[in-house]
Amino acid sequence: MGLLDYLQEQGIDLESSGGIVTAADNSQVEVVINPNNLDVTVAENDRKSVLVLHTKADSSRMVFDVHPCASLRVVDVYLGGCFAESVVRQQAGSVCDITSVVTSGAVVDYMVDMNGKQASNALKSIFLSRGEEYCKVAVRVNHNYSDCTSNSLVKGVASGKSKGEFNGMVYVAQDAQRTDARQNSRNIELGGEAKIITKPQLEIYADDVKCSHGATVGQLDSEAILYMRQRGLSEMQARRLQIEGFAKDIVYSSSAFGDVLAEELNRFLEEI
């Protein structure tokens, strides 16, 4: 079952602006559909889960305010070519986990501001492009205070003649000592005409930090495809299995919606 079917089954009118669902892990999740403007505030010590669904070629600006010691989970899904900008403002001791799945030519921009000590952010994103689409995910994490942790992993798969792009920036201010920031970009180009450009960047002004970044762009592993075919899988199945394996940790980073997001991924793979 895909995400849209799932939400409908949960009583959400897809033409409406959303509602509340009880997710597979029993958490209450606020569902927001195609917002042009969205403001979400999580009060001190409170916790919240939000699923934002973008199905249209539209623009969307979202602001997430996470107050001290509050916790926010965001699942951000793009099934239509959307221009989106998200700003996450995290105060001291807050936690924010973002899972982002982009299966269409969307341009998605995340900016995370660490505005207090000991905040932590984890962002996992996958973008998939096909045909002649252009798809971009940008992530900027600003470590403005000390002792914050951020971990971004963005994966890209481009097929056909499509073009994918990742732009990453970790900024560490002079006072942001003991920052622990990781940024990773992993990409697969399917076929000779697909293209992925990745640009991970670090800008560090503090001296006591742990920061790392990495980026790879590759093709499917031909040895693995040979191995799977030797066991009787067709080349198509072997390729698909490998892409599913590549994307899996991202879609399942949302414990609440892992299965339905995996189905969205399947649907994408069927059409390439």
Partner 1 sequence: MLSIKNLCASVDNKQILRGINLEVRAGEVHAIMGPNGSGKSTLASVLAGNEKFTVTDGSVEFLEQNLLELPIEDRARMGLFLGFQYPVEIPGVTMANFMKMAVNEQRKFRGEEPLSAGEFLRMMREKSAIVELDSKLTNRAVNEGFSGGEKKKNEIFQMAMLEPKLSVLDETDSGLDIDALRIVATGVTRLHNEQNATVVITHYQRLLDYIVPDYVHVLYKGRIIYTGDKTLALKLEKEGYDWLINDYKE
Q: Which residues bind partner 1 (CB under 8 A)?
A: 221, 223-224, 226-235, 237, 241-242, 244-249
CB of 184 to partner 1, least distance (A): 14
CB of 106 to partner 1, least distance (A): 24
Which of residues 112 and 251 has its CB atom nearest to partner 1 in the complex?
251
Which of residues 92 and 215 has its CB atom nearest to partner 1 in the complex?
215
CB of 219 to partner 1, least distance (A): 15
**How far is it, in rounded angstroms, from Cα 156 to Cα 127?**
5
CB of 238 to partner 1, least distance (A): 8
Which of residues 131 and 245 has its CB atom nearest to partner 1 in the complex?
245
Which of residues 214 and 245 has its CB atom nearest to partner 1 in the complex?
245
Which of residues 36 and 231 has its CB atom nearest to partner 1 in the complex?
231
Which of residues 140 and 155 has its CB atom nearest to partner 1 in the complex?
155
CB of 56 to partner 1, least distance (A): 31
CB of 158 to partner 1, least distance (A): 18
User: Taking Cα atoms as reference points, which of 124, 210, 139 lies closest to residue 169?
Assistant: 139
First-last CA distance in the chain: 19
CB of 126 to partner 1, least distance (A): 12
**How far is it, in rounded angstroms, from Cα 255 to Cα 17?**
24
Which of residues 11 and 192 has its CB atom nearest to partner 1 in the complex?
192
